[in-house]
Amino acid sequence: MIEIMDTTLRDGEQTNGVSFTAHEKKNIARLLVKELNVDRLEIASARVSDGELEAVRRIAQWANEAGCLDRFEVLGFVDGGRSLAWIRDAGCRTMNLLCKGSLRHLTEQLRRTPEQHAADIAEEVRRAEEVGVTVNLYLEDWSNGINDSPDYVFALVDALRHLPIRRFMLPDTLGVLNPETTYEFCRRMTERYPELHFDFHAHNDYGLAVANTYMAIRAGVRGVHVTINGLGERAGNATFSSTVAVIHDQLHYRTAIREAGIYRVSKSVETYSGIHISPNQPIAGENVFTQCAGVHADGDAKSNLYCNPLVPERFGRTREYALGKTSGKANIRKNLEALGIELDDETMNKVTERVVELGDKKELLTQEDLPYIVSDVLRHNIHGNRIRILNYSLSLTHGLRPVATIKIEIDGRVYEETATGDGQYDAFVAALQKIYKSLGRTLPMLTNYAVTIPPGGRTDAFVQTIITWSHNDTEFKTRGLDADQIEAAIKATVKMLNKIES
């Protein structure tokens, strides 16, 4: 059973540009407990500000009423009891005491001897014990200390191991470890002190935080520190979602975490922090449960051939199938099934061609766009294609009227004309009218022109242009879909021409 300590509200708030309000901190803390069942939460640093004190008081009050105050921890310092007093005033009962885990930090920052530092720590622990506050101990810069000054690290732990310190926490403060050194250094600690509870606290400077956490657990540490969405100073900390998934699937160890709430909490923290989740971030990223290639969707339909243990339902999500130029029928069929739409093979082929056509323009389609594409395909083929636009050129120049040149085929004969207009589409219609006038025909009157974006669709996917026409005392509508509004209008116009010819 691996213990999870979330430090989003303390270390995660050290992300550049991130500062949670008291209300936001309380909401995040509640989500971490109620939705995810996190074992421990590090929620603040002592003596930061009056606002921080108020935030911790609110959280502590709620936690006390909810019966989970022992899960909440605050970072404190070796400062003659001032941090301890701040933590008690805030209503918390656990202090994560920060001490120096490397000789260099001790001598160059604190300018104390190892013996003096050990005595100072022991005095803080004694004060905490007297007032009923539990102490965990951070060995700051431990990763450099165990590499550069291991004798100092061992002497410090030897001096403190018999004190009432519940956990010794091993931070890779500067993110310098790799999986091999993490395993080696953590193993030295767990073998030398088998009776102690060790935590590992990773930083992601080399992108190795989750991998290093994995190796620390293999080396025998019993608790690990994480943040939601990998928030944290510099490159951040070990990501909550990935770390939990790795523990469950790769190490086959248990945690108390409820995976189903991970995505919801990740999105909430994204909103509060203003730091967007990368689309390809494992577990919580927008794209990670989306299949793009048609062959993958086909394989999923045949015994889930392209699925791994990270099924989206574990994390409160669903698998999606992207629509674009790499989409095959299987992708599209999966989306249509989700919408409750069934198509025959012929129509499916035409819908697939239409999706690929839009995808070639680098347009991103959504599931909500599909009914519009299906409708467009079905309506487009009702009246045949007696009239086709072979080519057209639209120009818009500052200070000059828009110009359109079109080449159109009517019943096998080709016509070409140029005209100006009040806008590009107006110029297109004017050129079309010239051709029809030369044939002794009249065009329907345009009575309404509307442009819509399909509900849930994206503005960079496509638009639907709906034109209402009046012809021989009858009104009718035609629709056109395209990424470009003018092109959509032209397609609606060609449908009108074929309709009146039929």
pLDDT tens digits, residue range 252-310?
Answer: 999 999 999 999 999 999 989 999 999 889 999 887 877 554 444 444 444 556 567 88
Distance in angstroms (rounded) separating the CA atoms of residues 186 and 192: 10
Whether 453 shows a pLDDT value over 50: the answer reads yes
Are 399 and 384 in contact by the 8 Å Cβ rule? The answer is no
Mean pLDDT of the region 166-180: 98
Q: Are 158 and 187 in contact (CB under 8 A)?
A: no
Name the residue with higher pLDDT: 201 or 381.
201
Q: Rounded CA gap, 500 and 124, in Å?
A: 90
pLDDT of residue 474 exceeding 90: no
Q: Which residues are catalytic?
A: 10, 140
Q: Residue 451 CB: number of other CB atoms within 10 A?
A: 13
Task: Give the tens place of pLDDT for each residue, 63-96.
Answer: 999 999 999 999 999 999 999 999 999 999 999 9
Rounded to 5°, angle at Cα 176 from 109 and 213: 115
Q: Name the helix (H) or strand (E) containing 330.
A: helix 329-339
Question: What does the pLDDT read at residue 301?
Answer: 46
Reading the block at residue 345, the tokens are: 């093979």
Spatial distance between the Cα atoms of 43 and 73, rounded to a whole number of angstroms: 6
Tens digit of each residue's pLDDT (9 = 90 or more) over 289-301: 775 544 444 444 4
The burial of 193, by beta-carbon neighbours within 10 Å (0-12 exposed, 13-18 middle, 19 or more buried), is given as: middle
Could you tell me the pTM of the whole model?
0.69
- At residue 320, the pLDDT reads 64
SS3 48: coil
The rounded distance, in Å, linking the Cα atoms of 313 and 443 is: 55
3-state helix, strand, coil in the chain (%, to 5): 45, 20, 35
**Mean of pLDDT values over 407-435:** 93
Mean pLDDT, residues 338-363 taken together = 67
Give the model's pLDDT for residue 459: 46
What DSSP assignment string belongs to 442-453?
-PPEEEEEEEE-
pLDDT at position 369, please? 61
Task: Indicate the average pLDDT of the chain.
Answer: 87
**Exposed/middle/buried for 247, CB within 10 Å: 0-12, 13-18, 19+?**
buried
Q: Are 116 and 74 in contact (CB under 8 A)?
A: no
